[in-house]
Amino acid sequence: MTTSRTLGVPRMHKEKGERRDFLPPLLAAAARTGTTVVLERGVGAGMGLTLEDYQRAVPNLQVVERREDAFACDAVLVLRTPEVEEYERLLRPGTTLISMLHLGTRPRRVAALRALRCHAVSLDGLVDDHGARLVENTLSVAWNGLETAFAALEQRSPERLRAKGPTLRVTIMGAGRVGRHAAEAAIKYGNRLRWADWTARDVPPVMPSLLGRRLVADPAFLEAHLATTDVLVDATQRDDASQPLVKNEALAWLPPHAIVCDLNVDPYVPTGKPPTVRSVEGIPMGNLDKWLFGPDDPEWSKTIPQGVPTGARRAVVSCYSWPGIHPQPCMELYGRQLEPLLVRYLERGYAQPPIDALDRALLRASLLDPTLTVGTPAPEPSA
């Protein structure tokens, strides 16, 4: 395919708490390829950036008022994809959508993009030759999730944090990158400043435990372990997203004050073939507007499909976009990671045949990847 000569950068128009946008240095790098950058007015405002900040970085920046005009470009760069229902209105044939697309687990997105004859670079699908993600923020997924979990524990059960009380126990399911980061974050109560404060107040220390799937699948072990757990962390990555790893009834094994910290954030897709369910059965999924759900929260009834058991409940922290809790450092990291890949794409498109690791990564993240099989797990959780 030909290289892209215009790059649209629209706002996401997601929940109010979603304040992330790509930053001026990344767009400046795109412009240095000779690409015209087309920016929707208001990009960056949620992080305190002004239009002048972008114009200083990109002197020939084109500013548009309408979202549709930012999408009417050869390539469109936006962190989180629009809803599938918006594709036909926003995208034109031949456009390349560069976004967190999770192509392996979103068959409707794949079908819609192909039907519109669009191209794609899935940011979460940019992996090196060894399968490691190139644009990811698993550190913030873990730390931000644990930060909210301990805040919820303090809010709901302050007596559990009394000075010199029993050791706090955090059970982490999954020992991949997110799980390992979660163990470190748990020891620091999810926030280094909080760790200094709580340590000075003699709040009990944390003992994290990492469980592999064989222990999670052992009901007798799991029941005994959850009985003394203060925070249960789901950092798993499943081979089969149609089956939960933890049945809803197991939540009753947790103490009443326990917090479930959902770092996996797989969606419910009851109409999928096969359907996708949460790895911890019967819990709600949050976003940047709302990530704490008490056992009596109406969202348990509103957002969980009928037929999914929800009888056993504990307080849950869940957010589709954990890195967005602290948007500026998140986007600084994404910008540094994405810059060489975006520049290569704008200069060369999908090189055929690919000549190096950058080309191979772009091809693997595209709809042209011959190994793309819709329904396989995405390589690590949320944007």
CA gap 282, 277 in Å, rounded: 9
Q: Which residues contact 304 (CB under 8 A, 6 or more apart)?
A: 268, 282, 283, 284, 310
User: What's residue 376's pLDDT?
Assistant: 44
> What's the mean pLDDT in 11-30?
95
User: What's residue 378's pLDDT?
Assistant: 40
> Does the pLDDT of residue 162 top 70, yes or no?
yes
User: What's residue 238's pLDDT?
Assistant: 82
More confident residue, 164 or 98: 98
Query: How many helices (H) does the chain have, and how many strands (E)?
Result: 13, 12
User: What's residue 383's pLDDT?
Assistant: 64
For 114-152, what is each residue's pLDDT tens digit? 999 999 999 999 999 999 999 999 999 999 999 999 999
Helices (H), the chain: 24-31, 51-57, 67-71, 84-90, 107-115, 138-156, 177-187, 192-200, 213-216, 219-226, 299-302, 327-348, 357-364
User: What's residue 275's pLDDT?
Assistant: 81
- Among 65, 75, 23, 68, smallest CA distance to 42 is for 65
Q: Which residues make beta-bridge pairs with 170?
A: 208, 231
Task: Kindly report which listed range (47-61, 83-97, 298-312) carries the lowest average pLDDT score.
Answer: 298-312
Task: Kindly report which listed range (32-41, 102-111, 209-218, 257-266) carries the lowest average pLDDT score.
Answer: 102-111
CA gap 176, 172 in Å, rounded: 11
User: What's residue 271's pLDDT?
Assistant: 78
Among all chains, which residue has been given the structure tokens 């003394």? 228
Q: Residue 257 in contact with residue 230, Cβ under 8 Å?
A: yes
Q: Which residues contact 362 (CB under 8 A, 6 or more apart)?
A: 121, 126, 341, 344, 345, 350, 351, 354
Q: Residue 289 in contact with residue 16, Cβ under 8 Å?
A: yes
pTM of this structure: 0.88
CA gap 216, 194 in Å, rounded: 30
Q: Which residues contact 310 (CB under 8 A, 6 or more apart)?
A: 248, 282, 283, 300, 301, 304
> Does the pLDDT of residue 92 top 70, yes or no?
yes
> Does the pLDDT of residue 377 top 50, yes or no?
no
* Reported confidence tier of residue 83, pLDDT bands at 50, 70, 90: very high
> What's the mean pLDDT in 358-370?
90
Total Cβ atoms within 10 A of residue 166: 10
Q: Residue 98 class from Cβ within 10 Å (0-12 exposed, 13-18 middle, 19+ buried)?
A: buried
First-to-last C-alpha distance (Å) of the chain: 28
> What's the mean pLDDT in 359-370?
90
> Does the pLDDT of residue 101 top 90, yes or no?
yes
More confident residue, 144 or 104: 144
User: What's residue 30's pLDDT?
Assistant: 97
CA gap 65, 42 in Å, rounded: 9
> What's the mean pLDDT in 251-255?
98
For 2-12, what is each residue's pLDDT tens digit? 456 999 999 99
Q: Residue 230 in contact with residue 168, Cβ under 8 Å?
A: yes
> What's the mean pLDDT in 153-173?
96
Q: Which residues make beta-bridge pairs with 209?
A: 171
Total Cβ atoms within 10 A of residue 158: 10
Positive or negative: CA dihedral 118, 83, 276, 320? positive
User: What's residue 1's pLDDT?
Assistant: 47
Q: Residue 47 class from Cβ within 10 Å (0-12 exposed, 13-18 middle, 19+ buried)?
A: middle
> What's the mean pLDDT in 334-362?
93
For 315-339, what is each residue's pLDDT tens digit? 999 998 999 999 999 999 999 999 9
Instruction: HSE, CB side, 13 Å, CA atoms: give it for residue 236.
Output: 24
User: What's residue 373's pLDDT?
Assistant: 59
> Does the pLDDT of residue 351 top 90, yes or no?
no
Domains of the chain: 6-125+327-364 (3.40.50.720), 138-324 (3.40.50)
> Does the pLDDT of residue 63 top 50, yes or no?
yes
Phi/psi-derived region of residue 189, left when phi > 0, alpha when psi is between -120 and 50, beta in every other case: left
Radius of gyration of the chain (CA): 22
Total Cβ atoms within 10 A of residue 17: 18
> Does the pLDDT of residue 107 top 90, yes or no?
no
> Does the pLDDT of residue 379 top 50, yes or no?
no
Task: Kindly report which listed range (26-40, 114-128, 267-281, 316-330) carries the lowest average pLDDT score.
Answer: 267-281
